Structure 1
Amino acid sequence: MEYAPHDLAPRERYKLLAGFVLPRPIAWVTTLGPTGVVNAAPFSFFNVLCEDPPLCIFAASLRPDGRVKDTVVNIERTGEFVVNMTDEPLARAMHDSSGDFPPEVGEPGYLGLKLAPSSKVAVPRLADAPWALECKTWKTIDVNSDRLLIMGEGINFYIRDELWDTSSMRVHMEKYHPVGRMFADRYCRTDDRIVFPPAEGAPAR
Protein backbone atom coordinates (compact mmCIF):
# COMPACT_ATOMS: atom_id res chain seq x y z
CA MET A 1 0.00 0.00 0.00
CA GLU A 2 1.25 3.46 -0.79
CA TYR A 3 -0.05 6.99 -1.15
CA ALA A 4 1.06 10.14 -2.88
CA PRO A 5 0.56 13.11 -0.52
CA HIS A 6 -1.38 15.06 -3.14
CA ASP A 7 -3.98 12.25 -3.24
CA LEU A 8 -4.76 12.72 0.44
CA ALA A 9 -6.58 15.47 2.28
CA PRO A 10 -4.47 17.33 4.87
CA ARG A 11 -6.27 15.57 7.73
CA GLU A 12 -5.52 12.20 6.14
CA ARG A 13 -1.84 13.12 5.78
CA TYR A 14 -1.81 14.13 9.44
CA LYS A 15 -3.28 10.79 10.49
CA LEU A 16 -0.69 8.92 8.44
CA LEU A 17 2.25 10.90 9.82
CA ALA A 18 1.05 10.98 13.43
CA GLY A 19 0.07 7.32 13.35
CA PHE A 20 3.45 5.98 12.24
CA VAL A 21 6.13 8.42 13.40
CA LEU A 22 6.08 7.11 16.97
CA PRO A 23 6.68 7.84 19.72
CA ARG A 24 7.18 11.59 19.46
CA PRO A 25 8.73 13.76 22.16
CA ILE A 26 6.46 16.46 23.55
CA ALA A 27 7.40 20.11 23.93
CA TRP A 28 5.32 21.55 26.76
CA VAL A 29 5.86 25.19 25.84
CA THR A 30 5.39 28.01 28.32
CA THR A 31 4.99 31.59 27.09
CA LEU A 32 4.09 34.90 28.69
CA GLY A 33 0.97 36.86 27.74
CA PRO A 34 0.76 40.68 27.63
CA THR A 35 -0.97 40.85 31.03
CA GLY A 36 1.42 38.41 32.70
CA VAL A 37 -0.70 35.29 32.17
CA VAL A 38 1.50 32.23 31.69
CA ASN A 39 0.39 29.93 28.88
CA ALA A 40 1.41 26.26 28.76
CA ALA A 41 0.62 24.15 25.70
CA PRO A 42 1.93 20.79 24.44
CA PHE A 43 3.26 20.22 20.90
CA SER A 44 4.29 16.79 19.64
CA PHE A 45 5.47 17.87 16.20
CA PHE A 46 8.72 18.73 17.98
CA ASN A 47 12.35 17.80 18.29
CA VAL A 48 15.87 19.11 18.86
CA LEU A 49 17.99 19.76 15.77
CA CYS A 50 21.60 20.38 16.75
CA GLU A 51 23.86 21.31 19.63
CA ASP A 52 25.96 24.20 18.28
CA PRO A 53 23.93 26.28 18.75
CA PRO A 54 21.33 24.26 20.66
CA LEU A 55 18.26 24.44 18.42
CA CYS A 56 14.77 22.99 18.78
CA ILE A 57 11.73 23.21 16.55
CA PHE A 58 8.00 22.74 16.97
CA ALA A 59 5.00 23.27 14.71
CA ALA A 60 2.00 25.32 15.85
CA SER A 61 -1.10 25.07 13.70
CA LEU A 62 -4.12 27.33 13.82
CA ARG A 63 -7.00 26.51 16.14
CA PRO A 64 -9.91 24.62 14.54
CA ASP A 65 -11.82 27.90 14.22
CA GLY A 66 -8.89 29.57 12.44
CA ARG A 67 -7.58 31.63 15.35
CA VAL A 68 -3.87 31.86 16.05
CA LYS A 69 -2.84 29.97 19.18
CA ASP A 70 -1.81 31.93 22.27
CA THR A 71 1.63 30.30 22.17
CA VAL A 72 2.31 31.82 18.74
CA VAL A 73 0.90 35.24 19.66
CA ASN A 74 3.08 35.37 22.77
CA ILE A 75 6.26 34.20 21.04
CA GLU A 76 5.81 36.67 18.19
CA ARG A 77 5.50 39.48 20.75
CA THR A 78 8.31 38.52 23.14
CA GLY A 79 10.68 36.30 21.13
CA GLU A 80 10.98 33.99 24.15
CA PHE A 81 9.64 30.66 25.33
CA VAL A 82 10.54 27.66 27.47
CA VAL A 83 10.34 24.04 26.37
CA ASN A 84 9.49 21.86 29.37
CA MET A 85 9.77 18.08 29.12
CA THR A 86 7.05 15.89 30.61
CA ASP A 87 7.47 12.85 32.83
CA GLU A 88 4.86 10.42 34.08
CA PRO A 89 3.72 12.41 37.15
CA LEU A 90 2.99 15.43 34.91
CA ALA A 91 1.51 13.55 31.96
CA ARG A 92 -2.18 14.03 32.75
CA ALA A 93 -1.76 17.76 33.39
CA MET A 94 0.18 18.06 30.14
CA HIS A 95 -2.68 16.38 28.27
CA ASP A 96 -5.29 18.53 30.00
CA SER A 97 -3.40 21.70 29.08
CA SER A 98 -4.10 20.99 25.41
CA GLY A 99 -7.70 22.15 25.89
CA ASP A 100 -9.05 25.37 24.35
CA PHE A 101 -8.32 27.86 27.13
CA PRO A 102 -9.04 31.56 26.53
CA PRO A 103 -6.01 33.90 26.58
CA GLU A 104 -6.88 35.33 29.98
CA VAL A 105 -6.77 31.87 31.63
CA GLY A 106 -3.32 30.44 32.27
CA GLU A 107 -3.15 26.66 32.10
CA PRO A 108 -0.64 26.37 34.97
CA GLY A 109 -2.88 28.30 37.34
CA TYR A 110 -6.02 26.47 36.23
CA LEU A 111 -4.39 23.05 36.57
CA GLY A 112 -2.51 23.81 39.79
CA LEU A 113 0.96 23.61 38.26
CA LYS A 114 3.81 25.34 40.05
CA LEU A 115 5.93 27.87 38.21
CA ALA A 116 9.55 28.87 38.77
CA PRO A 117 11.45 31.85 37.38
CA SER A 118 13.73 31.19 34.45
CA SER A 119 17.34 32.37 34.54
CA LYS A 120 17.76 33.93 31.08
CA VAL A 121 14.24 34.71 29.83
CA ALA A 122 11.20 36.39 31.36
CA VAL A 123 8.97 33.38 30.69
CA PRO A 124 8.65 31.10 33.76
CA ARG A 125 9.35 27.40 33.51
CA LEU A 126 7.23 24.65 35.03
CA ALA A 127 8.81 24.05 38.42
CA ASP A 128 8.24 20.29 38.47
CA ALA A 129 9.42 19.61 34.92
CA PRO A 130 12.40 17.24 34.84
CA TRP A 131 14.16 19.30 32.17
CA ALA A 132 13.57 22.68 30.59
CA LEU A 133 15.19 24.66 27.81
CA GLU A 134 14.94 28.44 27.92
CA CYS A 135 14.74 29.69 24.35
CA LYS A 136 15.01 32.79 22.22
CA THR A 137 13.33 32.64 18.83
CA TRP A 138 15.96 31.73 16.23
CA LYS A 139 13.79 31.57 13.13
CA THR A 140 10.14 31.10 12.15
CA ILE A 141 8.80 29.62 8.94
CA ASP A 142 5.24 30.16 7.75
CA VAL A 143 3.73 27.05 6.14
CA ASN A 144 0.68 27.67 3.96
CA SER A 145 -0.47 30.47 6.28
CA ASP A 146 -2.01 27.90 8.63
CA ARG A 147 1.02 26.59 10.50
CA LEU A 148 4.13 28.21 11.94
CA LEU A 149 7.40 26.35 12.42
CA ILE A 150 9.13 27.92 15.41
CA MET A 151 12.83 27.34 15.89
CA GLY A 152 14.31 28.30 19.21
CA GLU A 153 17.90 28.67 20.35
CA GLY A 154 18.41 27.24 23.80
CA ILE A 155 20.20 29.75 26.00
CA ASN A 156 19.85 27.99 29.35
CA PHE A 157 19.29 24.42 30.49
CA TYR A 158 17.43 23.49 33.66
CA ILE A 159 17.84 19.92 34.97
CA ARG A 160 16.23 18.39 38.04
CA ASP A 161 19.23 17.66 40.25
CA GLU A 162 18.69 13.94 40.87
CA LEU A 163 18.45 13.20 37.14
CA TRP A 164 21.98 14.23 36.15
CA ASP A 165 25.46 12.88 36.83
CA THR A 166 27.72 15.92 36.56
CA SER A 167 30.94 13.89 36.42
CA SER A 168 29.93 11.64 33.49
CA MET A 169 27.50 14.18 31.95
CA ARG A 170 24.86 11.49 31.65
CA VAL A 171 21.22 11.10 32.64
CA HIS A 172 20.31 8.76 35.49
CA MET A 173 17.87 6.90 33.25
CA GLU A 174 16.48 4.83 36.11
CA LYS A 175 15.12 8.08 37.57
CA TYR A 176 13.88 9.70 34.36
CA HIS A 177 10.46 8.59 33.12
CA PRO A 178 9.48 10.72 30.10
CA VAL A 179 6.28 10.11 28.17
CA GLY A 180 5.88 10.16 24.41
CA ARG A 181 2.98 11.01 22.14
CA MET A 182 1.39 8.28 20.08
CA PHE A 183 -1.77 9.52 18.32
CA ALA A 184 -5.18 10.96 19.26
CA ASP A 185 -5.46 10.63 23.06
CA ARG A 186 -2.76 7.95 23.34
CA TYR A 187 0.64 8.31 24.95
CA CYS A 188 3.39 5.88 25.89
CA ARG A 189 5.77 5.26 28.75
CA THR A 190 9.47 4.93 27.94
CA ASP A 191 10.73 2.60 30.67
CA ASP A 192 10.80 -0.57 28.53
CA ARG A 193 14.22 0.07 27.03
CA ILE A 194 16.61 -1.94 24.86
CA VAL A 195 20.38 -1.70 25.13
CA PHE A 196 22.59 -2.82 22.24
CA PRO A 197 26.39 -3.10 22.28
CA PRO A 198 28.27 -0.69 19.98
CA ALA A 199 28.07 -1.68 16.33
CA GLU A 200 31.24 -3.30 15.02
CA GLY A 201 33.68 -0.64 13.92
CA ALA A 202 31.71 2.17 15.57
CA PRO A 203 33.19 4.18 18.45
CA ALA A 204 31.53 3.74 21.86
CA ARG A 205 29.42 6.70 22.92
Structure 2
Amino acid sequence: MNFDITELGVQEKYRLLNGGVTPRPIAWISTRSKSGVDNLAPYSFFTVASCNPPVLLYTQVNQRTGVDKDTLQNLRETGECVINIVNSHLLEQMNQTSASISINESEFDLAGIEQSTSRTVAPPSVKGSPIRYECTLREIISLGDLPAGGTLVLLDVKSVFVRDDIYSEKGINQELIDSVGKMGGDGYSFTTKYLALNRP
Protein backbone atom coordinates (compact mmCIF):
# COMPACT_ATOMS: atom_id res chain seq x y z
CA MET A 1 0.00 0.00 0.00
CA ASN A 2 1.30 3.44 -0.93
CA PHE A 3 0.30 6.68 0.76
CA ASP A 4 0.26 10.11 -0.86
CA ILE A 5 1.27 12.49 1.94
CA THR A 6 -0.74 15.33 0.40
CA GLU A 7 -3.93 13.33 0.92
CA LEU A 8 -3.35 12.47 4.58
CA GLY A 9 -4.49 14.14 7.77
CA VAL A 10 -2.20 15.04 10.67
CA GLN A 11 -2.85 11.87 12.70
CA GLU A 12 -2.41 9.61 9.67
CA LYS A 13 0.97 11.18 8.89
CA TYR A 14 1.99 10.93 12.54
CA ARG A 15 1.10 7.23 12.74
CA LEU A 16 3.02 6.38 9.55
CA LEU A 17 6.17 8.15 10.76
CA ASN A 18 5.93 7.20 14.43
CA GLY A 19 5.05 3.59 13.67
CA GLY A 20 7.63 2.98 10.96
CA VAL A 21 10.78 4.68 12.25
CA THR A 22 11.42 2.19 15.06
CA PRO A 23 12.87 1.39 17.49
CA ARG A 24 13.83 4.88 18.64
CA PRO A 25 16.11 5.68 21.59
CA ILE A 26 14.49 7.62 24.41
CA ALA A 27 15.86 10.87 25.78
CA TRP A 28 14.55 11.18 29.35
CA ILE A 29 15.24 14.87 29.80
CA SER A 30 15.53 16.59 33.16
CA THR A 31 15.37 20.38 33.36
CA ARG A 32 14.88 22.95 36.11
CA SER A 33 12.58 25.95 35.81
CA LYS A 34 13.63 29.48 36.76
CA SER A 35 11.56 29.07 39.91
CA GLY A 36 13.47 25.90 40.86
CA VAL A 37 10.97 23.16 39.93
CA ASP A 38 12.60 20.03 38.51
CA ASN A 39 10.95 18.62 35.38
CA LEU A 40 11.48 15.19 33.81
CA ALA A 41 9.95 14.06 30.50
CA PRO A 42 10.63 11.41 27.82
CA TYR A 43 11.20 12.18 24.13
CA SER A 44 11.62 9.43 21.54
CA PHE A 45 12.51 11.62 18.56
CA PHE A 46 16.14 11.67 19.67
CA THR A 47 19.61 11.04 18.22
CA VAL A 48 23.26 12.12 17.96
CA ALA A 49 23.64 15.16 15.68
CA SER A 50 27.45 15.47 15.82
CA CYS A 51 30.42 13.85 17.56
CA ASN A 52 32.92 16.66 17.07
CA PRO A 53 31.62 18.89 18.52
CA PRO A 54 29.48 16.51 20.61
CA VAL A 55 25.87 17.53 19.99
CA LEU A 56 22.64 15.66 20.73
CA LEU A 57 19.29 16.39 19.11
CA TYR A 58 15.72 15.84 20.19
CA THR A 59 12.46 16.96 18.63
CA GLN A 60 9.46 18.40 20.40
CA VAL A 61 6.32 17.50 18.45
CA ASN A 62 4.14 20.58 18.77
CA GLN A 63 1.05 20.25 20.93
CA ARG A 64 -2.40 21.17 19.63
CA THR A 65 -2.48 24.06 22.10
CA GLY A 66 0.57 25.62 20.48
CA VAL A 67 2.23 25.92 23.90
CA ASP A 68 5.75 24.55 24.30
CA LYS A 69 6.20 21.62 26.64
CA ASP A 70 7.80 22.32 30.04
CA THR A 71 11.13 20.89 28.88
CA LEU A 72 11.52 23.40 26.07
CA GLN A 73 10.19 26.28 28.17
CA ASN A 74 12.80 25.50 30.83
CA LEU A 75 15.57 25.17 28.26
CA ARG A 76 14.69 28.55 26.77
CA GLU A 77 14.88 30.11 30.25
CA THR A 78 17.90 28.34 31.75
CA GLY A 79 19.76 26.71 28.84
CA GLU A 80 20.58 23.49 30.73
CA CYS A 81 19.39 19.88 30.86
CA VAL A 82 20.40 16.27 31.41
CA ILE A 83 19.54 13.49 28.99
CA ASN A 84 19.12 10.28 30.98
CA ILE A 85 19.20 6.99 29.07
CA VAL A 86 16.34 4.63 29.95
CA ASN A 87 16.85 0.94 30.75
CA SER A 88 14.22 -1.71 31.48
CA HIS A 89 14.41 -1.11 35.25
CA LEU A 90 13.35 2.53 34.73
CA LEU A 91 10.65 1.90 32.11
CA GLU A 92 7.61 2.09 34.41
CA GLN A 93 8.81 5.27 36.11
CA MET A 94 9.69 6.82 32.76
CA ASN A 95 6.19 6.09 31.50
CA GLN A 96 4.69 7.81 34.54
CA THR A 97 6.60 11.00 33.71
CA SER A 98 4.80 11.32 30.37
CA ALA A 99 1.68 12.39 32.30
CA SER A 100 0.50 15.99 31.93
CA ILE A 101 0.93 17.78 35.25
CA SER A 102 1.27 21.40 36.34
CA ILE A 103 4.55 23.17 35.58
CA ASN A 104 4.76 23.80 39.33
CA GLU A 105 4.87 20.05 40.05
CA SER A 106 7.90 17.78 39.65
CA GLU A 107 7.79 14.47 37.81
CA PHE A 108 10.62 13.29 40.08
CA ASP A 109 8.15 13.51 42.97
CA LEU A 110 5.23 12.16 40.95
CA ALA A 111 7.04 8.94 39.98
CA GLY A 112 9.23 8.62 43.09
CA ILE A 113 12.46 8.91 41.11
CA GLU A 114 15.76 9.22 42.99
CA GLN A 115 17.88 12.19 41.92
CA SER A 116 21.61 12.72 41.88
CA THR A 117 23.42 16.05 41.64
CA SER A 118 24.78 16.80 38.18
CA ARG A 119 28.42 17.86 37.76
CA THR A 120 28.19 20.74 35.31
CA VAL A 121 24.53 21.80 35.12
CA ALA A 122 21.84 22.71 37.65
CA PRO A 123 19.12 20.20 36.69
CA PRO A 124 19.39 16.92 38.61
CA SER A 125 20.13 13.59 36.98
CA VAL A 126 18.19 10.34 37.33
CA LYS A 127 20.37 8.35 39.70
CA GLY A 128 19.40 4.97 38.27
CA SER A 129 20.13 5.90 34.66
CA PRO A 130 23.17 3.96 33.33
CA ILE A 131 24.29 6.79 31.00
CA ARG A 132 23.65 10.52 31.46
CA TYR A 133 24.57 13.45 29.22
CA GLU A 134 24.75 16.89 30.84
CA CYS A 135 24.02 19.48 28.18
CA THR A 136 23.57 23.16 27.42
CA LEU A 137 21.26 24.58 24.78
CA ARG A 138 22.92 25.20 21.42
CA GLU A 139 20.05 26.04 19.05
CA ILE A 140 16.31 25.72 18.57
CA ILE A 141 15.02 25.24 15.02
CA SER A 142 11.30 25.39 14.28
CA LEU A 143 10.09 23.35 11.30
CA GLY A 144 6.53 24.66 11.59
CA ASP A 145 4.02 26.03 14.06
CA LEU A 146 1.15 23.69 13.18
CA PRO A 147 0.03 20.90 15.54
CA ALA A 148 2.40 17.88 15.26
CA GLY A 149 4.99 20.12 13.61
CA GLY A 150 8.55 19.71 14.80
CA THR A 151 10.85 21.88 16.88
CA LEU A 152 14.44 20.62 16.72
CA VAL A 153 16.53 21.20 19.83
CA LEU A 154 20.32 20.94 19.54
CA LEU A 155 22.24 20.38 22.77
CA ASP A 156 25.99 20.70 23.45
CA VAL A 157 27.27 17.83 25.61
CA LYS A 158 29.34 19.12 28.53
CA SER A 159 29.78 16.00 30.66
CA VAL A 160 28.98 12.29 30.34
CA PHE A 161 28.33 9.81 33.15
CA VAL A 162 28.67 6.09 32.40
CA ARG A 163 28.03 3.54 35.14
CA ASP A 164 31.32 1.84 36.07
CA ASP A 165 30.21 -1.73 35.39
CA ILE A 166 29.26 -1.06 31.76
CA TYR A 167 32.44 0.81 30.78
CA SER A 168 35.88 -0.53 29.85
CA GLU A 169 38.87 0.62 27.83
CA LYS A 170 36.95 -0.48 24.72
CA GLY A 171 34.11 1.90 25.55
CA ILE A 172 30.51 1.30 26.60
CA ASN A 173 29.52 -2.37 26.68
CA GLN A 174 26.45 -2.42 24.46
CA GLU A 175 25.16 -5.70 25.87
CA LEU A 176 24.99 -4.33 29.41
CA ILE A 177 23.18 -1.02 28.84
CA ASP A 178 19.78 -2.72 28.74
CA SER A 179 18.42 0.13 26.60
CA VAL A 180 14.71 0.49 25.94
CA GLY A 181 13.49 1.63 22.53
CA LYS A 182 10.20 3.29 21.57
CA MET A 183 7.93 1.67 19.05
CA GLY A 184 4.73 3.10 17.56
CA GLY A 185 1.71 3.79 19.77
CA ASP A 186 2.24 2.57 23.34
CA GLY A 187 4.86 -0.03 22.36
CA TYR A 188 8.45 -0.46 23.59
CA SER A 189 11.30 -2.75 22.57
CA PHE A 190 14.06 -4.32 24.65
CA THR A 191 17.67 -5.06 23.80
CA THR A 192 17.60 -8.63 25.11
CA LYS A 193 19.54 -9.96 22.11
CA TYR A 194 22.75 -8.43 20.77
CA LEU A 195 24.40 -9.30 17.46
CA ALA A 196 27.68 -7.89 16.13
CA LEU A 197 28.56 -8.05 12.42
CA ASN A 198 31.98 -7.13 11.05
CA ARG A 199 31.76 -4.35 8.49
CA PRO A 200 32.99 -5.32 5.00
TM-score of the superposed pair, with normalisation by structure 2: 0.93
Matches within 5 A, 1:57-68: 57-68=57-68
Counterpart of 1:113 in structure 2 is 113
SS of corresponding position for 1:95 = helix
Q: What letter matches 1:133 in structure 2?
A: Y
1:98 to 2:98 alignment: yes
Structure 1 unaligned runs (5+)?
A: 200-205
2:15 equivalent in structure 1: 15
Deviation of 1:121 after TM superposition, in Å, equals 1.1
* 1:61–1:69 Cα contact (<8 Å) kept: no
Aligned AA (1:162): D
Aligned to 2:162: 159
Unaligned runs of 5+ residues in structure 2 are: none
- Give the alignment of 1:1-205 within 5 angstroms: 1-146=1-146, 147-165=150-168, 167-168=169-170, 170-199=171-200
Structure 1 contact 56–151 (Cα < 8 Å) conserved:
yes
Structure 2 contact 30–71 (Cα < 8 Å) conserved: yes
- Quote the RMSD (CA, aligned, Å): 1.4
Measured in 2, the distance between the counterparts of 1:109 and 1:172 equals: 31
TM-score by structure 1 length? Answer: 0.91
1:174-200 C-alpha deviation (Å, 9 max, x unpaired): 42201000011110101212222332x
- Name which structure has the greater RCO, CA cutoff 8 Å, separation 6+: 2
Q: Is the 2:175–2:194 contact (alpha carbons within 8 Å) kept by the matching residues of 1?
A: no
Identity of aligned residues (%): 30
